[in-house]
Structure 1
């Protein structure tokens, strides 16, 4: 982590997800959408194949692959990315390292983030978001990304620390850093 630190920056907390939950609230809308998408692509493939139309089967195949990704493969991508995720809270930033290869780096300055909110389990672990946890409708909010985030393993642009141990302590470190910034 030291290579990602800015001069004079101190690490307040570092951790990994304690659980790797694959299904999130936004998936309640994405899974049915992806199944309809995949069904449509199968109908397209069957009718294009029987009709002998030139490029139409290729488009149907492309839509089928995208449907399989949205329905199944993005959960595999999410699982792999979750196992490679490391969260770091410094006195000035939140740093998230992860992604499928473990090389994706996301940082946000504490002073620019809304106040942290948490969901907590009986064992003290939980998730932490900034401002609010994203809702189902946020997956179609093109203002956060360039286009729908249904293609992403993470269907929200909101910075979230998923399933961290002792989530209240992490929230307190972040709140302390926000007050100091």
Structure 2
């Protein structure tokens, strides 16, 4: 199991630990860079025609900023998820950075009900801990409007039903 040693508190028992197995763009994220690149290319062609007095450097800045704005979220999410390690103990759910060991998110098991929200054909799934309107995935992308709340999403984990059962058993234990 791949768990940073600073994550566990004294007396805490490890139930499961793992990392996202397959990380890639999901849903409409596939369209974001394509649409953005087309939009930026069109802007690069139109800006010199509409504003002929602006220097070429201005067009370069517009193009670079536009490409960064459309590509960065799609590229950053897999990078951040690739560094994540998920830990489920008998007391809490923790998402930590496996490189630095820093805890990104954590929640007490008694305060967050687990739910398997997605199960793929390959056995990988997503577990949400907390109300659906408060869930934030490990990369920090808010699914709801309340990003500051501590609800957690474990993405692309193997056997999410087994992890769910471990959490439920830990919550029911005295």
Same fold (TM over 0.5): yes
Residues 24 and 45 (structure 1), Cα distance of their counterparts in 2 relative to 1, 3 Å cut = same
| Deviation (angstroms), 1:10 | 1.0
Where in structure 2 are there 5+ consecutive unaligned residues? 136-140
Equivalent pair of 1:127/1:167 in contact (CA under 8 Å)? yes
Does the CA contact (< 8 Å) of 2:33 and 2:74 recur in 1? no
* Number of residue pairs aligned between Structure 1 and Structure 2: 162
1:51 counterpart SS class: coil
CA contact (8 A) 2:88 2:94 kept: yes
Instruction: Report the CA distance between 1:93 and its aligned residue.
Output: 1.1
Structure 1 equivalent of residue 107 of structure 2: 108
Higher helix share: 1
2:29 matches 1:27: yes
Q: How does 1:19-168 map to 2 (within 5 A)?
A: 19-20=22-23, 22-25=24-27, 27=29, 34=36, 38=40, 42=44, 45-46=47-48, 50-52=52-54, 57=58, 61=61, 64-98=63-97, 103=102, 105-130=104-129, 131-132=131-132, 142-144=145-147, 159-168=152-161
Shift of 1:88: 0.6
- Residue 169 of structure 1 corresponds to 162
Contact 2:29 2:74 in 1 (8 A): no
Query: Helix, strand or coil for the counterpart of 1:173?
Result: helix
State the Cα distance separating 1:35 from its structure 2 match: 5.5
Q: Quick one: structure 1 residues 10 and 37, their matched pair in 2 at CA, closer, same or farther if it must change by over 3 Å?
A: farther
- Equivalent residue, structure 2, for 1:149: none
For the aligned residue pairs, the C-alpha RMSD in angstroms reads: 3.8
More strand as a share of residues: 2
1:5 aligns to 2:4 (yes or no)? no
Q: What's the CA shift string for 1:94-145, capped at 9, x where partnerless?
A: 11123897756221222222332232223432111134387xxx96855425
